[in-house]
Amino acid sequence: MKRALQINRRLKQAYPDARCALHFKNPLELLVATVLSAQCTDKRVNLVTPAVFKKYRTAQEYATAKPAEFSKLVHSTGFYQNKTKNIRNACNMIVKEYQGKVPGRMEDLVKLPGIGRKTANVI
């Protein structure tokens, strides 16, 4: 842990203005935006997510979203059917196993459908 904190401090010194290009307000929005960013530009995701985040605010709402409606919102990000399925299934698992909160541990994140190590590292 001490080593990780030192590395983090050095990275902040070397890259003081580094930040995520995706726009989000909470871990759930970051999870959704990151899944949508696969095979898509962050710019495109940032154009799509305001409408998504306005319509769906909780993991429960994503989990019970009508696939056709959700797919229509995210269609322009590409691979929209898989992204819809993965976001809905991941949110269903978040509701059932993590009380509606995005887990903070890597080992829990990678258990979520559609979330690999790369995506989990972003989250």
Rg (CA), the chain: 15
pLDDT above 70 covers what percent of the chain? Answer: 100
Q: Which of the four pLDDT bands, split at 50, 70 and 90, describes residue 8?
A: confident
pLDDT at position 5 is: 87
pLDDT at 1 over 90: no
Burial of 59: CB neighbours in 10 Å, binned 0-12, 13-18, 19+:
buried
3-state SS assignment for residue 112:
coil
Distance linking the first and last C-alpha atoms of the chain: 19
Q: What is the pTM of this model?
A: 0.88
The DSSP call for residue 44 is: H
Report how far Cα 88 is from the mean position of its chain's Cα atoms. Answer: 12
- The 10s digit of each residue's pLDDT in 52-93 is 999 999 999 999 999 999 999 999 999 999 999 999 999 999
